[in-house]
Structure 1
Amino acid sequence: MTPGSNIPLSVARVTVDVTAPVRLDVSGLLLTADGKVRSDDDFVFYNQPNGPGVTHRAASGATPDAITVDTAAVPAAIEKIVVTASPDAAGTTFAGIEPTATVRADDGSVIATFTPPPLGTETALLIVEVYRRNGAWKVRAVGQGYANGLAGIATDFGVSVEEPAAPTAPVAPVTAPMPPAPVAVAPVGAPPVPAAPAAPPAVPGKINLDKGRVSLRKNETVSLVKGGKPLTRSVKMGLGWEPAWNGRAIDLDASVIAYGPDRNMIDACYFGRLQILGGTIQHSGDNLTGDGSGDDETITVHMGGLPPEVTGLVFTVSSFNGQKFTEVAKAYCRLLDAQTGEELVRFDLTGSEPKTGVLMCKFIRQYSGEWEMTAMGDYVKAKTVRDLVKPAAQAL
């Protein structure tokens, strides 16, 4: 499975095994429609292994930690059971030790497996969720990380922080000699302090819009959140370019491809299809030369109106006539507030390759509902939107 993808469950009872190269604390949270537990009794973990329809199995020998969900016994008020994990050793992050969730039927047969993409400073993780939709049960891959450990998850879902924190406290002294895991390399060289600044680049550019315009570099990410609230108003993605070295007119085409949770293309908006998804995405029309200052083409996205099945947007530029990006100068994309015209995020493409397409940036809908924008700048062989569908999907 990939992040955000889901599959229906054909059996009433499933077990989610969670494995990793290190010992884990695995738990299950029973959530109502508002995304909260009803009480601390809906938090199932090794010190409280039984909940209504949900049980915890502690690791033993070759048997991993697991959460079992008997959907027939889950209370009607519960809409989803989220399976979480955190490293048992205090202070350890998931960098390089990404866990794998294996969903099994009672007979041991594998229904699905999911390993999240590479992680960094996360110390707790929502791995998968078993959820109810229109009377049927499904399982969804999540992969949402928290840098503030189990306490961060508890706070988000309404569990008293003291309850989940207490079980881990006795473990910390046992593993206290092992803090070398996060600090090991630094203490070897006497100056551990210089090592601290090296940590932030592990999650480059993970910022929001609170401090004004954000300038991104390749592979950096900004959370489209302002004042603690996800961006739901209309935005414009402006894309611009100029002919290089006073060369001939350059005819490039900007487009955006919308994807679902399985990286399946839902629709594409470009010069030949100026409006998609009920008008929630609109294209300004074709620019045939690239001459002049300002945006050459714009794509408006009504963020609050995007259908829930859309979980990814990839903005691209391609050359239908085969002109390569070595003939293009000053290519960029910038995100604007559609109402005020305020520039929110900008990414200037640096370097070039003799190819006919480029993946400029992508929007990914997070498990919590907000969107994140990541600068890409990846060159591909593509002249049309159809050529871009596969490489864009692979980049999600």
Structure 2
Amino acid sequence: MSITLAKGQTINLAKSTGAGLTQVRMGLGWDVKVTERKTLFGGTKRVQKAIDLDASALLIGGGKVGEIVYFGQLRSKDGSIVHTGDNLTGAGDGDDESIMVDLTRIAPWVEHVVFTVNSYSGETFTDIDNASVRVVDSTDGDRQLGRFTLTGSGAHTALVMARVSRAASGWTFTAIGRPGQGRTANQLGPLALQCL
């Protein structure tokens, strides 16, 4: 069963059987912006505008960002987190960018994995259509565990989407949705630390 997450809501990443999840995937999806413009002779023309959003994962331990997985570094040093690659336009159906996380392999120093999205091309989230992030259980046919809608969230170029955190009972997932400004994941470290 999937749930729609509100900002600040936390869910325990446990399977319906009670066992802890071992692999999750964060998917970011959005659509190409389509607008209508008037032509020289009074008609209208549909115009598509490519928007380049980037999903990233910031690995945090001891109160600092120790590593970032993004389109420029597709794999964490320990191999536990893998970015599937950069989508420059939002074209296509489903998740446009994904970050796969093997919770069993995350280095012991990592306390939180914070997921961010930024508009590399500089558009604000007011300008982006059908943007959402979801977390799925990769070992159970991509069963959706939660979804968080990003579209229409305001005149900012970045969001701290969510975090996965170590807890005594296993891993937890928290939807955050905190806006900020930044066109690259490197610029979002201070904002990510404020969301712990």
TM-score (norm 1): 0.44
Partner of 2:130: 330
Partner of 2:104: helix, strand, or coil? helix
Percentage of identical aligned residues: 40
Partner of 1:305: helix, strand, or coil? coil
Structure 2: any 5+ residue segments left out of the alignment? 36-47
Partner of 2:43: none
5 Å matches for 1:111-150?
none
Partner of 1:392: 192
Letter in 1 for 2:50: A
Is the 8 Å Cα contact of residues 128 and 151 (structure 2) preserved in structure 1?
no
Partner of 1:334: helix, strand, or coil? strand
Separation of aligned partners in 1, 2:10 and 2:151? 17
Separation of aligned partners in 1, 2:194 and 2:7? 17
Separation of aligned partners in 1, 2:20 and 2:144? 17
Is the 8 Å Cα contact of residues 126 and 151 (structure 2) preserved in structure 1?
no
**C-alpha distance 286-254 of structure 1, shift in aligned 2 (>3 A):** same
Separation of aligned partners in 2, 1:244 and 1:234? 32
Separation of aligned partners in 1, 2:3 and 2:112? 21
Partner of 1:252: 53
Partner of 1:119: none
Partner of 2:176: helix, strand, or coil? strand
Matched, 1:351 2:141: no
| Greater share of residues in strand | 2
Separation of aligned partners in 1, 2:150 and 2:78? 31
Letter in 2 for 1:221: T
Cα distance per residue 1:88-127 (max 9 Å; x no partner): xxxxxxxxxxxxxxxxxxxxxxxxxxxxxxxxxxxxxxxx
Partner of 1:330: helix, strand, or coil? strand
Partner of 1:242: 31
5 Å matches for 1:1-396?
212-226=1-15, 227-231=17-21, 233-246=22-35, 247-260=48-61, 262-339=62-139, 340-349=141-150, 351-366=152-167, 368-396=168-196
TM-score (norm 2): 0.87
Letter in 2 for 1:348: T
Larger Rg: 1
Cα distance per residue 1:167-208 (max 9 Å; x no partner): xxxxxxxxxxxxxxxxxxxxxxxxxxxxxxxxxxxxxxxxxx
Cα deviation, residue 229, structure 1: 2.8
Is the 8 Å Cα contact of residues 243 and 327 (structure 1) preserved in structure 2?
no
Cα deviation, residue 322, structure 1: 1.4
Cα deviation, residue 245, structure 1: 4.7
Partner of 1:387: helix, strand, or coil? helix
Partner of 1:277: helix, strand, or coil? coil
| Greater share of residues in helix | 1
Separation of aligned partners in 2, 1:332 and 1:391? 20
**C-alpha distance 318-350 of structure 1, shift in aligned 2 (>3 A):** closer
Is the 8 Å Cα contact of residues 129 and 151 (structure 2) preserved in structure 1?
no
Is the 8 Å Cα contact of residues 277 and 306 (structure 1) preserved in structure 2?
no
Separation of aligned partners in 1, 2:31 and 2:4? 20
Letter in 1 for 2:19: K
Separation of aligned partners in 1, 2:75 and 2:95? 19
Partner of 1:388: helix, strand, or coil? helix
Partner of 1:230: helix, strand, or coil? coil
Separation of aligned partners in 1, 2:189 and 2:80? 20
Separation of aligned partners in 2, 1:338 and 1:307? 20
Cα deviation, residue 279, structure 1: 1.1
Cα distance per residue 1:334-353 (max 9 Å; x no partner): 11222322222211225321
Structure 1: any 5+ residue segments left out of the alignment? 1-211
**C-alpha distance 362-352 of structure 1, shift in aligned 2 (>3 A):** same
Separation of aligned partners in 1, 2:192 and 2:118? 12
Separation of aligned partners in 2, 1:277 and 1:337? 23
